[in-house]
Structure 1
Amino acid sequence: MSEIRMLRTFLAIEKHGTMAAAADRIALTHAAVGAQMRTLERVCQRQLFDRSGRSIQLNDAGRSIIEQARTVIAAYDSLLRGVADKHTIEGSITIGSTVSSMGFLAANVIRLKVPYPGLNVRLTHDSSPELERQVRAGEIDAAVIISEPRVTTLPESWERLYEEPLVLLANPAIAPADASVTSLLKRHPFIGFEKVSITGRHVSSVLRRLRVDVNPVLEMNSIAAIADLVRQNIGVSIVPRLRHAAWEDDPQLSVKLIPGATWRRHVAWYEFGRQPRATAIVKNQLLAALAD
């Protein structure tokens, strides 16, 4: 429900102080957060933010609905739990994911074991196109996939979970703080991301925009494997900054933002047709984890 997502974003702004801080925390672009809040203001038929200063702040009207927003979110979450309890969520479902998002999915599925001990969630991994095919064929119930944003209608459902910007990964031994992205790309072997994938096509576009001729050493479709090769100083690479990987705290990795790069990889929840109630339980657990 878009209204619930807007209210979760609104409460994230209140919690973290600014739209920019909330955007970073819930893995949306600043523009997406701003668009959500403008829509929320239209729905509420009032201005909720003071935009007169350098930073956008909640105004009195915005502050006045904070408790109501919390009440609505709590009631919605309680409703889902109540429906689940009433119908006794038990049995097995299968949820797919790409390898790079599996840690996030698995950690949240484990959290469901306490409130839903009778629910068995089997996890499987594959490429996004294959996972989408499996969902449409009814071989699995839903999936966390990589996909470009799109508008879908029932029986197909696509809902964005979070976004990941492209960054350059390098070994700190060859990447001093003042080293530019273009100089690193020109001087060191390049580990490419699979060109036929959505991400690979956008990486190629970034290289063309930067007007850099790289020295490709190999091409892979695993971000974790690429990061490991960078740690071994095999080369540099451009990959999505995994939301749930603490690369900035890794002493063997240097992470550099790419000037002018605006594209972000979209990680989404995908389902098709009428789904078991249990899939909604998993999806809402993921959304709640992102909003915390």
Structure 2
Amino acid sequence: MDIRQLEYFLAIVDHGGFNRAASALYLSQPSLSQSVQGLERDLGASLFHRIGRRVVLTEAGSALIEPARAAVRSLETARASVAAVHELREGRLDIAAMPSQAVEPLTTMIRTFSSRYPGVSVNIRAAFTSRDVVDMVRTGAAELGLLATSVALPDKEVVSHAVGEQRFVLLTPPCGPFPAGRPVNSGELAGHRLIVGQRGTGMRAYVDGLREEGVDFHIAAETEHRVAILPLVLAGVGLAVVTESWRTTAEQAGAIVLDIEPKMTLRVALVARRAQQSPAAQTFLSCALGAAQAS
């Protein structure tokens, strides 16, 4: 067994099949298949059920994912540690982020980091809930994670660092029902059509909480694609409660952004693995925490 076989195995898992993994790795499918077969021989177990063009993980394959990620990540950390001698002139950093926080504060964090270390490539991994972020960091799919939560910050499976708060705001189209510049009381959302995100997100928990408090609104659309919320608002489908990370983008697009009273916020945190971090991850975390403390 070698590390490249594990990288190939994880590529098949992440891309959902041999064809896509081979394309992503710039390999021929026969070469990829031979490598996986060699890994299976070494382990004495099949890793995939091959059903036509589809592959499904076997029990052994599922069990291999987490240790494989840990092994690959450890090697990447070792390589990066050597590269650190050259002052982070090159390398890669994987960050898992929820959609709203990927707008801000992640954009500002990356801008600050990249201006100092332009040779390090930052790869942003999509995670839709705070649980997704924690799992990706814990298993090694990403070194750092950026999340927002209304509950206590996680500290058992990962190391959590608070980097600020984001309040909830209301997006309306230019001809919306509320005047610009005036905060909206949450009770005033009664009777309106709302566009909401998926369950498990802070934004969805907030509007579900309003309904439990007796605010009767109609869900006009429910979307897992956070980027679809603003276009739906501008198209007049409904209003949307989002975090203030969207404020600048929404206003530039022509939407009206209104504060909601009483003020409710999400806590934003960077989370890191408890294992040794690469120099890039350590430096990114230091830059981000320094900026958060200064603001």
TM-score exceeds 0.5: yes
| Offset of residue 180 of structure 1 | 5.2
**What is the aligned partner in structure 2 of residue 99 from structure 1?**
99
The superposition leaves residues 213-234 of structure 1 with CA deviations (integer Å, 9 ceiling, x where unpaired) of 1111121244432122111111
Which structure 1 residue ranges, 5 or more long, are not aligned? Answer: 1-83
Q: CA RMSD in A?
A: 3.1
| 1:208 correspondence with 2:203 | no
Structure 2 counterparts to residues 241-260 of structure 1, below 5 A: 241-242=244-245, 245-246=247-248, 249-250=251-252, 252-260=254-262
**What is the aligned partner in structure 1 of residue 125 from structure 2?**
124
Rounded Cα–Cα distance in structure 1 between residues aligned with 2:254 and 2:111: 30
Structure 2 counterparts to residues 38-117 of structure 1, below 5 A: 88-89=87-88, 90-103=90-103, 104-117=105-118
**What is the aligned partner in structure 1 of residue 228 from structure 2?**
225
SS in 2 for 1:270: strand
**What is the aligned partner in structure 2 of residue 189 from structure 1?**
193
Task: Give the share of equivalent positions with the same residue, in percent.
Answer: 20
| Offset of residue 270 of structure 1 | 0.7
Rounded Cα–Cα distance in structure 2 between residues aligned with 1:138 and 1:247: 32
**What is the aligned partner in structure 1 of residue 269 from structure 2?**
268
The higher radius of gyration belongs to 2
Q: Is the 8 A contact 1:193 1:219 kept in 2?
A: yes
Letter in 1 for 2:189: L
Instruction: Identify which range, 113-122 or 265-274, moves more after superposition.
Output: 113-122
Give the paired residue count: 205
Q: Is the 8 A contact 2:160 2:272 kept in 1?
A: yes
The superposition leaves residues 72-95 of structure 1 with CA deviations (integer Å, 9 ceiling, x where unpaired) of xxxxxxxxxxxx976733433322
SS in 1 for 2:170: strand
Rounded Cα–Cα distance in structure 2 between residues aligned with 1:201 and 1:94: 28
Which structure 2 residue ranges, 5 or more long, are not aligned? Answer: 1-82
Rounded Cα–Cα distance in structure 1 between residues aligned with 2:249 and 2:188: 18
The superposition leaves residues 9-48 of structure 1 with CA deviations (integer Å, 9 ceiling, x where unpaired) of xxxxxxxxxxxxxxxxxxxxxxxxxxxxxxxxxxxxxxxx
The superposition leaves residues 248-281 of structure 1 with CA deviations (integer Å, 9 ceiling, x where unpaired) of 744732222222243x122210111221122121
* Correspondent of 1:164 among 166, 174, 180: 166
Q: Is the 8 A contact 2:186 2:210 kept in 1?
A: no
When the two structures are superposed, what TM-score results if normalisation uses the length of structure 1?
0.59
Distance 1:224 1:184, change over 3 A: farther
